[in-house]
């Protein structure tokens, strides 16, 4: 069974992978340059959009985590078999999804060329991200829920902090040093990477009973 350390480490890994997806932050750089936003404005907007995105994911995750807690308090096998199995199954699903080229993670596609106000653009981006929660980490919430609210809070905190900080850092780095970033492999295969991580975490949860 996972303990809180395993939960934090797993959340950290999945959050980093999630935040690195170019469609989460690269369009903000492009839109910021097109709209002549200042460096500080762009970073602030990135943080705001990142919070909107992680909030919807956390809301769904809390519901899944509560379900995991209810089941684990009733059936002990959930913590030792069902939770790891769910992660392995979902991880396998993501790998097959990637192999079948069903990539659908274009959260921030938006026409930045039109003459809209800054508020309208920011609101549009935030709404688009809020209603596009990342489901990759939701399976991990089920496992975290077996530890009760401590596990749910740990995943939520790590996920939001790491995702937002990573998005802001990537936008900052891009604005300063990178004109054209070639992240084609990760952008096209992030589901495969996430799937592999989920399978590893599931196997780890099954064999390491601490």
pLDDT of amino acid 161: 94
112 has a pLDDT exceeding 60 = no
> Which of 201, 170, 31, 12 has its CA nearest to residue 114?
31
pTM of the model: 0.67
Q: 183, exposed or middle or buried, with CB in 10 Å at 0-12, 13-18, 19+?
A: middle
157 has a pLDDT exceeding 70 = yes
Long-range CB contacts (within 8 A, 24+) of 204-208: 204/6, 204/84, 205/1, 205/2, 205/6, 205/83, 205/84, 205/87, 205/143, 206/80, 206/81, 206/84, 206/85, 208/6
106 has a pLDDT exceeding 60 = no
Mean of the pLDDT values across residues 62-86? 68
Flag the least confident range among 79-83, 84-88, 146-150. Answer: 79-83
Instruction: For the chain, count helices (H), then strands (E).
Output: 9, 0
Strand ranges in the chain using DSSP code E only, listed in sequence order: none
> Which of 39, 27, 13 has its CA nearest to residue 163?
13
Higher per-residue confidence, 175 vs 197: 175
> Which of 6, 4, 165, 136 has its CA nearest to residue 61?
136
Mean of the pLDDT values across residues 177-203? 64
Q: Residue for token digits 């300063």?
A: 176
pLDDT of amino acid 166: 93
pLDDT of amino acid 184: 58
d(CA 40, CA 57): 26
pLDDT of amino acid 130: 82
With a pLDDT cut of 90, the percent of the chain lying above it is 18
Mean of the pLDDT values across residues 143-154? 85
Q: Quote the mean pLDDT of the chain.
A: 75
DSSP letters, 39-65, are HHHHHHHHHHHHHHHHHHHHHHHHHHH
């Amino acid at each position: 069974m996972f303990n809180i350390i395993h939960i934090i480490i797993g959340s950290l890994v999945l959050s980093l992978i999630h935040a690195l997806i170019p469609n989460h932050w690269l369009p903000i750089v492009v839109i910021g340059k097109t709209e002549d936003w200042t460096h500080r404005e762009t970073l602030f907007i990135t943080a705001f959009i990142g919070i909107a995105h992680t909030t919807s994911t956390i809301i769904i995750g809390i519901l899944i985590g509560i379900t995991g807690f209810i089941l684990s308090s009733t059936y002990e096998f959930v913590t030792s078999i069902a939770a790891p199995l769910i992660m392995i199954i979902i991880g396998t699903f993501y790998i097959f999804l990637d192999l079948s080229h069903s990539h659908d993670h274009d959260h921030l596609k938006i026409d930045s060329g039109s003459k809209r106000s800054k508020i309208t653009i920011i609101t549009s981006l935030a709404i688009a991200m809020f209603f596009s929660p990342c489901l990759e980490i939701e399976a991990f919430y089920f496992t975290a829920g077996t530890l009760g609210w401590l596990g749910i809070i740990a995943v939520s905190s790590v996920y939001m902090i790491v995702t937002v900080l990573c998005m802001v850092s990537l936008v900052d780095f891009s604005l300063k040093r990178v004109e054209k970033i070639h992240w084609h492999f990760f952008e096209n295969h992030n589901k495969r990477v996430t799937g592999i991580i989920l399978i590893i975490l599931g196997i780890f949860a099954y064999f390491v009973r601490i």
